[in-house]
Structure 1
Amino acid sequence: MELPDTQSTLPEVRINLTRVGVKNVKKLVEVARPGKRPVIFISSFDVFVDLPSSLKGANMSRNFEVIDEVLQQAVQGKVNGIEDVCNSVARKLLDHHEYSDRTEVRMNSTYMMRRQTPVSGTECDEVVKVVASAIAQRNKSNPIVRKSIGAEVTGITACPCAQNIMKEVAASKLRDLNIPEEKIAEFLRDVPMATHNQRGEGFLCIETDDDQCVNLEDIIAILKDSMSAKIYELLKRGDESYVVLNAHKNARFVEDCVREMAKRVVNDFSFLPGDSLIRIRQTNKESIHQHDAYAERKATIAELRAELQETS
């Protein structure tokens, strides 16, 4: 008995639909790495296709089949890292949905990184949020694919404003104790003053054409290095001293973090074409205020290059 294909019938209201698909598809993504342990991501997928007015519905089960097919290829090392999972799915969706001209895939993942503390070398885990997406547009020959990869990382920031106030307080007290000015300057140069801290959440996402390679680890490194200091789940006393001292030696506003990210993106991804889209944001959760500090920038890498050249 041949079962009816209701999705292929004419709809009562005949209009095109921009996005039809499934959201919040939970998957465990395992990506093989040559000579290393595979990387595991706990992921949620949103998958969409466009639908012409001549069809009542899209074949939803094909979306699940494509995701599973690509994830199996990732396990086998046929997908070049988490960066290429979404664009591989987007391409294959066009093959499975012959009636669609456009496909879109979004992925939100949790990534557990194994790290060592800076002094004692104690091992601990760190959670990183990873986002990726891809849009594939049908073309006469190969599809046109635009993809993005990004991450959100937590670190610590120290406020430069309060630190400079405390620096003046300390200098005044040392003068009252008849300490020579050169000794005061030497002390304040070597011992950073107290200030209030924030837990910072940095986000960086890079959108490129399909033929460009943007490494997730490089994005994470930029985020970590753009705040006052890195943080760790477990700290021995020597590690704690190291983190606190370095954070206060590298005091940064929320604006400083975003600008530092932009500079590092331009330097570390100099090979990217000018139309690559860069999205940067930083949220600092204040310790002495009830609000959060926030800054962001969205620009092409060509625009960032031009601005940095003007000020160099």
Structure 2
Amino acid sequence: MKFPANLIEKARDIHSDRPKYCFRLDKVGASGLKVPIRVNGFVLLGNVNVYTSLPDNRRGVDLSRQNSVVYQVANSARSLEEFVILSAEELLDVIPYSDAAEVSVEVDIPQDEANAFGSYRTMISSFISRADKRKNRTRVELVGITACPCTQELIRTYLADIGESTSIPATHTQRSIGILDITLKEDHISHRDLAAIVEESMSSPTRTLTKRPEEASLVMLSLFNPKLAEDVVREMLFLLLERFPRIPDDAYVISSVRSLESVHKHDIYVERSAFVGDLRRELEGSKRP
């Protein structure tokens, strides 16, 4: 049954009513929209959140207008970054009573064949206000391997004590989830560059398609490059500063690792969050004698 069009015009628009309690709302919109987006020749299904602010004198937002915007922009956007920026800008055009808009997309990005068909997860968002306040956020999450240097040193000491020696002492390894999250006023940082930093900071990468020689290579690489979860978080921060020397001091960074421990019944978690300017000062201070 189709609702009669003439009755729609007669019905009161509840959304435009004055609310019982007149508070401004920061975010109103749809969470978890499934939107197909083109990324590097692939059509990926993105998990999209779309929000606009709501003034204190309006009861509700026009949700269908919001949703229409992101599906329309997805047809022409050439990148994830362009998708969120153009969507947020368009929302302010079609929702005139809102003074701010935010759009985010989360999607798994395929890696190339050299990475044996692996992937990493990225979340990209853009916040824009009518006062021209902007926040562009890029977050990547990638799985790698960490090998424990502490246990390796104990095994090395034990072998030396009993007269044995080896150039690659054993230790426990585990899959570790690294996250690098950057928010800044300027353009988004490349999610591929951030994913490369996370992967390089691990003891070794993980791969999807491997045969025994490749598996042995990954294990040997991790044993030659043992790292604590703390080491990985610090290395991600260092590589970020090294590879993006022009990133502004007021950019905000979150670097974290969750180590899915193989010898414990719990995980290990490490995190550092700070403004880039503070990280630069810490790094310079550590170089002084």
Q: Could you tell me which residue of structure 2 aligns to residue 309 of structure 1?
A: 284
Render the CA deviation track for 1:194-246: whole Å, top value 9, x for unaligned. Answer: 0011110000011111x334111100100000010011112122212211111
State how far apart, in whole Å, the 1-side matches of 2:59 and 2:94 are. Answer: 17
> 1:92 pairs with 79, 90, 104, which one?
90
Q: Could you tell me which residue of structure 2 aligns to residue 205 of structure 1?
A: 181
Q: Are 1:226 and 1:260, in contact at CA under 8 Å, matched by a contact in 2? A: yes
State how far apart, in whole Å, the 2-side matches of 1:308 and 1:223 are. Answer: 19
Q: Are 2:138 and 2:188, in contact at CA under 8 Å, matched by a contact in 1? A: no
Percent identity of paired positions between Structure 1 and Structure 2: 29
Structure 2 residue 219 is matched with structure 1 residue 221: no
Once superposed, what is the RMSD of the aligned Cα atoms?
A: 1.7
Matches within 5 A, 1:262-301: 262-301=237-276
State how far apart, in whole Å, the 1-side matches of 2:10 and 2:195 are. Answer: 50
State how far apart, in whole Å, the 2-side matches of 1:277 and 1:40 are. Answer: 30
Render the CA deviation track for 1:57-88: whole Å, top value 9, x for unaligned. Answer: 111011111101221121xx3xxx22332222
Q: Assess, with a 3 A threshold, how the Cα gap between structure 1 residues 3 and 114 changes in structure 2: closer, same or farther.
A: farther
Q: Are 1:87 and 1:145, in contact at CA under 8 Å, matched by a contact in 2? A: no
SS of structure 2 residue aligned to 1:125: coil
Structure 2 residue 162 is matched with structure 1 residue 170: no
State how far apart, in whole Å, the 2-side matches of 1:298 and 1:83 are. Answer: 23
What is the TM-score of this pair, normalised by structure 2? Answer: 0.91
Render the CA deviation track for 1:113-156: whole Å, top value 9, x for unaligned. Answer: 23326xxxxxx3213111122211112xxx32211011100010
- The number of aligned residues is 279
Matches within 5 A, 1:160-199: 160-174=149-163, 188=166, 191-199=167-175
Matches within 5 A, 1:103-142: 103-116=101-114, 124-139=116-131
Indicate the larger mover: 59-68 or 126-135.
Answer: 126-135
Question: Which structure 2 residue ranges, 5 or more long, are not aligned?
Answer: 1-5
Q: Are 1:83 and 1:132, in contact at CA under 8 Å, matched by a contact in 2? A: yes
> 2:19 pairs with 11, 15, 32, which one?
11
AA aligned opposite 2:71: D
State how far apart, in whole Å, the 1-side matches of 2:283 and 2:142 are. Answer: 24
AA aligned opposite 1:50: S
Render the CA deviation track for 1:22-58: whole Å, top value 9, x for unaligned. Answer: 1111112113x5xxxx144321112111111222211
Q: Are 2:99 and 2:130, in contact at CA under 8 Å, matched by a contact in 1? A: yes
CA apart distance, 1:297: 0.6
CA apart distance, 1:306: 0.9
Q: Could you tell me which residue of structure 2 aligns to residue 121 of structure 1?
A: none
SS of structure 2 residue aligned to 1:174: coil
State how far apart, in whole Å, the 2-side matches of 1:97 and 1:192 are. Answer: 62
Q: Assess, with a 3 A threshold, how the Cα gap between structure 1 residues 39 and 305 changes in structure 2: closer, same or farther.
A: farther
Structure 2 residue 214 is matched with structure 1 residue 239: yes
SS of structure 2 residue aligned to 1:22: strand
Q: Could you tell me which residue of structure 2 aligns to residue 120 of structure 1?
A: none
State how far apart, in whole Å, the 2-side matches of 1:227 and 1:280 are. Answer: 13
Q: Are 1:40 and 1:111, in contact at CA under 8 Å, matched by a contact in 2? A: no
SS of structure 2 residue aligned to 1:14: coil
Q: Are 1:14 and 1:53, in contact at CA under 8 Å, matched by a contact in 2? A: yes
> 2:36 pairs with 28, 33, 53, which one?
28
State how far apart, in whole Å, the 2-side matches of 1:100 and 1:136 are. Answer: 11
CA apart distance, 1:301: 1.2
Q: Could you tell me which residue of structure 1 aligns to residue 3 of structure 2?
A: none
State how far apart, in whole Å, the 2-side matches of 1:42 and 1:173 are. Answer: 57
SS of structure 1 residue aligned to 2:246: coil
State how far apart, in whole Å, the 2-side matches of 1:84 and 1:279 are. Answer: 23
State how far apart, in whole Å, the 2-side matches of 1:18 and 1:305 are. Answer: 33
Q: Are 2:199 and 2:205, in contact at CA under 8 Å, matched by a contact in 1? A: yes
CA apart distance, 1:17: 2.1
Q: Are 2:23 and 2:55, in contact at CA under 8 Å, matched by a contact in 1? A: yes
SS of structure 2 residue aligned to 1:289: coil
Question: Which structure 1 residue ranges, 5 or more long, are not aligned?
Answer: 118-123, 176-183
Q: Are 1:28 and 1:43, in contact at CA under 8 Å, matched by a contact in 2? A: yes
AA aligned opposite 2:278: E
